[in-house]
Chain A
Amino acid sequence: MIKYILRRVLLLIPVLIGVSFIVFSMMHFAPGDPARTMLGETATQDQIDQLRDELGLNDPFLIQYGRYITNVVVNQDLGRSYVSKRPVANEILTRYPNTLKLAGLGIGLAMLIGIPVGIISATKQYSWLDNITMFFALVGVSMPVFWQGILLILLFSVTLRWLPSSGFDTWQQMIMPAFALGTGSMAVIARMTRSSMLEVYRQDYIRTARSKGLGEWLVINRHALRNALIPVVTVIGLQFGFLLGGAVLTESIFSINGVGRLMVESIQRRDMMIVQGGVLVFAFTFSVINLGVDILYAFLDPRIRAQYK
C-alpha cells in the first residue's frame, strides 16, 4: 500500500512540471509586453527597456522558465502581478479558500443527492421513478452552470427574495452557487451510480446473497453498494476538476471573490502573471484531489492493494 502511494506521489512531479511548462510557454508567447503593461501607456521606451532588463525578460526562454519554476518550488513565489504589483501567491491565496469552499460544497451536494438517486433508480429499473429521475439527470447534465445561476437568482433573489444574489460569507449566500455548480456533477454521479449498481446486480455474488435469503436492503447495502461505488469514486474525482473550471463561471455570476473571478478579471487586464499562477494552482489542486482519489480507490478495491503487497 505504501509502495503504491509513494509511486503515485512521485508520478505527480513530472505531471506538474509539464503543466507549469505548458502554462509558462503559453503566457510567454502571448501577445503584449509585460513591461509595457506594468508601466502603463505613458512610459518611454527607455523605461520599458530598463524594466525588461530588471525582470530578465530579455533572457532566453528556457532560462526564464528555469527561474520561474525554481522560484515556485523553492520560495513558493509565483511572481508579481503586472497590475497591482503585489505577489501573485498572496493575491491567489487570499481568494483560494472561497474557491475551494465553493467547489467542495458543490461536490458535497452532488454526492449527497446524486448517489442516493442513482441507487434508487437502479433498484427500481425501468419504473416511472427511474425514468423521471434519469430524465432530470440528463437535463441536469445539459444545463449550463451560468444559465442555472441566472435562473436561481431570478427565482430566489428577484421574485421570492429569499436568498441574496451575491457574496459568499453566510450560508444563505452559499446555497445558490453551490447548487448551480453542483447540479451537473450531481446528474453525472447519479447516472454513474445507477449504471454501476446495475452492473453489480448481474454478478453471481448478488444472486448468492439473495438465494441465501438475505433481505433486499441487506443485499443492496452490504453486497452491491460497496462494489458499485468503486467506479463512482473515480467519477467524483474527475468531476472535481470539472467543478474547478465551473467555479470560474459561478464566481462570475454570483460575484464571489475567488480565484476564478480573479483570473477572468486578470485576463481582461492582460495580467498574465496572475492567470499563469491561477492555472498552476488549479492544476495542482486537481492533481492532489486525483491523487487522493487514487489512494482511496486502492483502499476500497482489494485487487489494487494486492498488486502492491
Chain B
Amino acid sequence: MNEKRTGPWIEVWQRLRRNKMAVLGLIVIVFLILVAIFADYIAPFTYSQQNFEAALQKPNSTYWFGTDNFGRDIFTRVVYGSRVSLQVGIISVSIALLVGGTIGAIAGYVGGWIDTILMRMMDIMLAIPGTLLAISIVATLGGGLRNVMIAVGIGSIPSYARIVRASVLSLKELQFVEAAKAVGTRTSKIILKHLIPNTMAPIIVQSTLGVAGAILAAAGLGFIGLGIEAPRPEWGAMLNAGRHYIRDFPHMTTFPGLAIMITILSLNLLGDGLRDALDPKLKD
C-alpha cells in the first residue's frame, strides 16, 4: 500500500495540482462533461424547438443567450452543442490513437522495411494539411457526426504514429524489454503489455491537446457547412448561421464562439500542465 501512495501517477497528480492554470482547465473540462451528460436537465428548451414569434431576441431573462433566426433558444443549443463537440473530440482522438498508436508501435518495435513503409505512408498523409484532409474525407463520405469523427480522426493518425514510434524506439533497448524477449514472450504481448504502458506520458499530453485540435477541426467543418446535419446543434455551424446576422444580432455568434474558445483554452491549459507534470525535466 505504501508503495502505491508514492507511485508515479500520484506524483504526477501532486505536480499537476500545484499548477493553478492546469487545475482551472481541468475544472472547466469536468464541468463541460457534466453539462454534456446532463444537458436534458440543464437546457430549458429542446434544441430544435422553433418559436418564430420569439425569433432573434437579444439575451433576456427567458432566453439567457437570446434566440436565433428560427426562435430557438441559443443557451439550449450551446448546452447541447457540448455533447457533439466532446463526442467528436474524444472519439476522433481515440480513432487516431488506436490506429496511429498501433502503426507507431509496430514500426518502432519491428523496424526494418516495415518501419520504412509505414512511416513513409505517414509522411504522405502529413503532406496533406490536416484540415484539408478532413475536408476531403468528409467531401467523399458525406457529412454527419460519424463521418466527421472519422475524418478528423484519420487526419491526426500520423502524429500519434510518430510519437508512439519515437517512444518505442527509445524503450525497446531497455532491460525489461530484453528480459521479456529472453523468456520468450510473444511480440504482440511485449508491445501491448510492456511497451505501450510505458509510452503513456507523451500520449496523454498529445491526446489532451489532440482533443482540443479535433474539436476545432470539427467546428471548422461545421462552419463551412460540412459538419453535423441540422437541426442538431454544433458550435461551428451555429457560428456560421449567426454570421449572416452579425450586424444586428452579434449574440448569435458570441456564445457559441465563447463556448469553443473556453473549451479549447481549458484543454490547452490542462495539456500544458500535464506536459510539465509528466516530464519534470522540461520544467526548470
| Chain A residues engaging chain B, CB cutoff 8 angstroms | 14-16, 18-19, 22-23, 26-27, 29-31, 138-139, 141-147, 150-151, 153-154, 158, 198, 202, 241-242, 244-246, 248-249, 252-253, 263-264, 267-268, 272, 275, 279, 282-283, 286-287
Hey, which chain B residues are within 8 Å of A283, CB to CB? Answer: 127-129, 132
Hey, which chain A residues are within 8 Å of B220, CB to CB? Answer: 144-146, 249
B170 within 8 A of A: no
Which chain A residue has the least Cβ–Cβ distance from B272? A138
A139, B239: Cβ atoms closer than 8 Å: no
B135, A267: Cβ atoms closer than 8 Å: yes
Interface 1/0 per residue, B105-129 and A, CB below 8 Å: 0000000000000001101110111
A192 to chain B minimum Cβ distance, whole angstroms, is 13
B264, A198: Cβ atoms closer than 8 Å: no
A142, B261: Cβ atoms closer than 8 Å: yes
Interface 1/0 per residue, B139-164 and A, CB below 8 Å: 11110000000000000000000000
B211 within 8 A of A: no
B228 within 8 A of A: no
A150, B132: Cβ atoms closer than 8 Å: no
A154 to B212 Cα, complex, angstroms: 26
Tell me the interface secondary structure of chain A in the complex.
Answer: helix
A246 to B265 Cα, complex, angstroms: 18
B120, A26: Cβ atoms closer than 8 Å: no
B96 within 8 A of A: no
B8 within 8 A of A: no
Chain B, interface size: which category?
35 or more
Hey, which chain A residues are within 8 Å of B123, CB to CB? Answer: 15, 18
Which chain A residue has the least Cβ–Cβ distance from B125? A22
Hey, which chain A residues are within 8 Å of B133, CB to CB? Answer: 279
Which chain A residue has the least Cβ–Cβ distance from B120? A14
B268 within 8 A of A: yes
Hey, which chain A residues are within 8 Å of B269, CB to CB? Answer: 138
Hey, which chain B residues are within 8 Å of A29, CB to CB? Answer: 140
B247 within 8 A of A: yes
Hey, which chain A residues are within 8 Å of B268, CB to CB? Answer: 138, 141-142
B152 to chain A minimum Cβ distance, whole angstroms, is 12
Task: Give me 10 A-to-B residue pairs in the complex whose CB atoms sit less than 8 angstroms apart, sorted by A's number.
Answer: A14-B120, A18-B124, A18-B127, A27-B136, A141-B268, A144-B216, A144-B239, A144-B257, A145-B220, A248-B135
Hey, which chain A residues are within 8 Å of B131, CB to CB? Answer: 242, 245-246, 248-249
Neighbour of B130 across the interface among A16, A26, A27, A242, CB < 8 A: A242
A244 to B136 Cα, complex, angstroms: 14
Neighbour of B250 across the interface among A154, A264, A272, CB < 8 A: A154
A267, B129: Cβ atoms closer than 8 Å: no
Hey, which chain A residues are within 8 Å of B265, CB to CB? Answer: 138-139, 142
